[in-house]
Amino acid sequence: MQITMKRSGKQGFLAMVVLMLAVMFLAACGESITELSFKHVQPGVYSEVYLDTKVNVTGTASTVIATISGPGLMDDANKSAQFSAGQTARVTWKINKVGTYKVTGNVNGTQFTQEITVK
């Protein structure tokens, strides 16, 4: 990334400090990406709902904690996983009915809610 500052003096210095702090804050927080999908593993018998989570931040391990609700849950509703930066954690739930499933949870304290309709 290349940044060019066009201000000089105190304004330029303050703008540069604010920009550097913003970049450091965003890098420290990291960006978390959560995505829901499903697969009919044995059609007519059971399917699986997947929550894939990735965090783009270097450093220590990350944790995803998630709870699913829906019409045909065959597993424990509450699941969690730990993973390192740049890796993808997958949480899997078995289901036996079509319908809408809602997943709520958090990644390193950042809340998320997603829904998927299994047809």
Question: What pLDDT shows up at residue 84?
Answer: 84
User: d(Cα 99, Cα 118) in Å, to the nearest integer?
Assistant: 5
Give yes or no for a contact between 69 and 77, defined as CB atoms under 8 angstroms apart.
yes
Question: What's the whole-model pTM score?
Answer: 0.73
Which segments in the chain show pLDDT lower than 50?
A: 1-7, 22-28
- In what helix (H) or strand (E) does residue 29 lie, and over which residues does it extend? helix 9-29
- Residues 44 and 100 reside in one and the same domain: yes
For residue 90, the enclosing domain spans 31-118
Same structural domain for residues 50 and 17? no
Residues 26 and 59 in one domain: no
Give every CB contact of residue 50 below 8 A, 6+ residues apart in sequence: 36, 37, 38, 39, 90, 91, 92
State the pLDDT at residue 109: 85
Query: In angstroms, rounded to a whole number, what is the distance separating the alpha carbons of residues 118 and 102?
Result: 11
